[in-house]
Each structure stands twice: as structure tokens, then as C-alpha cells.
Amino acid sequence: MALLTHTSHEFEAELRQLKGRLLAMGGRCEQMIIWAVSALEEQNVQLAEDVMRADRQMNEDEMAVDEMAVRMLALRQPVGRDLRFAITAVKVVTDLERIGDEAVNLAERASELAATGSLPAPAKRLSEMAMLAKTMLRHALDSFVEEDVAKARLVLEEDDAVDAIYGEILRGSIAYMRADPTAIDDGMRVSNCAKYLERIGDHSTNIAEMVIFLVDGVDVRHGGG
């Protein structure tokens, strides 16, 4: 019995460590989004470079979390909710790493637009879209920490607003390029920035869906559940 208790305490400590590492990654993702959007608004190349440096730490975190989760599965052989948590952790870390990649893409386009001296008109709603996407990520992470299904389902609803702005920016970019064929490069950069933010929203949605799976054991992906 003493051995089982000791093992249980060790396992709980490993679960806390794994969750803490994931939350640190989430916080880094949020900061990278803020820097990337600020780089775009302020045409600040230095901030864009900060995003790219932060991405290297994200990659290291992804490998560390993967290793922790695999070791936990192999040595602890969890069942039920603990098994779902380990599976969720592996999937969440993948989405967080990809959110970091999208922030890097956004920062790269920001650096390119900075060279033009001014932001194209279709870019005016990118900041709003970015704040909505960042809010989705924050709510998804909160739902994970609190194991709150209601908050996770809120994230699924918030994705509609991000998609709507994405459509507006895309249509505006197309009109902008049609009106001035010499501005095609900048128009494409703006539409790409919107696409990166839309994907951040999608990855946050993925995290929220995994929280629902973790808590309720229900797979709501692709309209399920």
C-alpha cells in the first residue's frame, strides 16, 4: 500500500509538471501573437525578430512535452481520465507549436510590409482579428486548466467571429489588388496575415475540443458529440 501511495504521488507530480509545461507554452504563444501584431502595426522589425527567437524555445518545449507524455504512457500505463489527459497533452502541444509557427509567419509578413513604409487599407482589421484569435487561445487554455467544458464550448462559438473577419479581409484584399495591380504583393501579404490568424483560431478550437474529450470523454470534432 505504501508503494502504491508513493507511486500515486509521483504520478500526480508528473501530471502537474506536464500541465505546467503546456501552460508555459500557451503563455509564450500569446506573447508571440502580441509581438507579431505589434510588429505589423508599428512596422517594427525588431519585434518580428523576437517572435522568431521565441519560436526556437517553442520547438524545444514541444519535444520536452512529447517526451514527458510518452514516458508517462509507457511507465504509468494510465487508464480512464488520466489516459485521456496524456492523449490530450500530446495533441495540445502540437496545436500550440503550430500556433507559434503561425505567429512566426505573421511576423515575417510584418517585416516585409515594414519595407513598404505604410500598411495597405485591407490590413486595418487585422489587429481586431488578432485580438479575437488571442482571446480564443486564452479561453482554450483556461478551459484546459480549469477543465471547464462550458468555456471550451465558448471557444467553438468564438471561432465564427474570427472566420467572419477573415472573409472580410480576404474580400478587401482581392478588391485592393484588382484596383491596383502593382499592389498585388502587398495585397497577398495582408490576405496571408489574415489566413495565419484564422489558423490560430482553428488551433485554439482544436484545443477546446480536446478539453471536451478530456472532461466528458466525447469527441466533438467534425460535428461529433
Rounded to 5 degrees, φ, ψ at 152 are: -65, -40
The pTM for the full model equals: 0.89
Biggest CA pair distance of the chain: 76
The predicted structure's pLDDT at residue 11: 78
How many distinct structural domains can be found in the chain?
1
- CATH number of residue 130's parent domain: 1.20.58.220
- Residues making up the chain, counted from first to last: 225
* Structural domain containing residue 90: 2-223
122-156 burial code (b ≥16 CB/10 A, e <16): bbeebeebbebbbbbbbbbbbbbeeebbebbbbbb
DSSP letter for 115, please.
T
Q: For residue 90, with 0-12 CB atoms within 10 Å meaning exposed, 13-18 middle and 19 or more buried, which class applies?
A: middle
| pLDDT, tens only, 77-121 | 887 778 888 888 888 999 999 999 999 999 999 889 888 877 888
| pLDDT, tens only, 1-28 | 433 344 577 878 888 888 888 888 999 9
Of 35 and 115, which is predicted with more confidence? 35
Q: What is the mean pLDDT of the chain?
A: 88
Q: Decide if 174 contacts 192 (C-beta within 8 A).
A: no
| pLDDT, tens only, 196-206 | 999 999 999 99
How far is the C-alpha of 225 from the C-alpha of 211, rounded, in Å?
Answer: 13
Residue 218 has pLDDT above 90, yes or no: no
Segment 117-135 mean pLDDT: 90
